[in-house]
Structure 1
Amino acid sequence: MRLIVLLLLLLFIAGGVILGALNADLVGYDLAFVRIQVPKGAALLAVLALGWILGGLTAWLGVTTRHRRERRRAVKTRDAKAPKAP
Structure 2
Amino acid sequence: MRLIVTLLLLLFIAGGVVLGALNADLVGYDLAFARVQVPKGAALLSVLALGWVLGGLTAWLGVTTRHRRERRHSAKAQGAKVPKTS
Asked if these proteins are the same fold (TM beyond 0.5), I'd say yes
Give unpaired runs (5+ residues) of structure 1: 81-86
What is the identity, as a one-letter code, of the residue corresponding to 2:73? R
* Structure exhibiting the larger radius of gyration computed from Cα positions: 1
Q: TM (normalized to structure 2)?
A: 0.91
Q: Deviations over 1:34-77 (max 9, x none)?
A: 00000000000000000000000000000000000000001101
What is the identity, as a one-letter code, of the residue corresponding to 1:65? T
Calculate percent identity across the aligned residue pairs: 85
The alignment's C-alpha RMSD in Å is 0.8
What is the identity, as a one-letter code, of the residue corresponding to 1:49? A
Name the CA distance, whole Å, in 2 between partners of 1:42 and 1:5. Answer: 24
* Cα displacement (A) at 1:15: 0.2
What is the identity, as a one-letter code, of the residue corresponding to 1:29? Y
Give unpaired runs (5+ residues) of structure 2: 81-86
